[in-house]
Amino acid sequence: MLDQNQISTFLTFSGQAEEAVKFYVDLFDEGKIISTRYFEEGEPGEVGKIYTMVFELGNQKFAALDMEKKYAVDFSWATSIFVETKNEAEFDRLFEAFKEGGHVMMGPEAMGIYSKVTWVTDRFGVTWQLVCEK
């Protein structure tokens, strides 16, 4: 469950929520699934798809759901998830995973106080900004 009175990111997928969340949770050291609820018969979604999946990456809670394809809206790079990595090895590992089947929009390159910066949209359509401080 998401915490009341706390701002959280809610990701809406078109049938890939469970696959995406498991991918993200496996990538991050402190990633974990907190709860999962599937659509059931009579509910406004495809039976067996994600109604709500709450998960955590680091100390940040997220939620995801599967929306019916006819209503689903594509993600946009105008909104991204910003991750400051612990070191270049973590940066490289995340970057390689996100770019596989995705799209690199910028970088990796040095910029300002960062030794590496990139914007990359993963195969699920979610855009990530990864940075590694010098």
31-80, pLDDT tens digit by residue? 999 999 999 999 988 999 999 999 999 989 999 999 988 888 889 989 99
Give me the sign of the Cα torsion angle 78, 25, 122, 108: positive
In whole angstroms, give the CA distance from residue 131 to residue 109. 9
Give the Cβ contact number of residue 105 at 10 Å: 14
Q: Which CATH class is domain 80-133?
A: alpha beta
- State the CATH architecture for 9-66: 2-Layer Sandwich (3.30)
For residue 87, CA distances in Å to 10, 130, 132 come to 27, 11, 6
Q: What is the pTM of this model?
A: 0.92
In the predicted model, is pLDDT for residue 22 greater than 80?
A: yes
Extents of the domains making up the chain = 9-66, 80-133
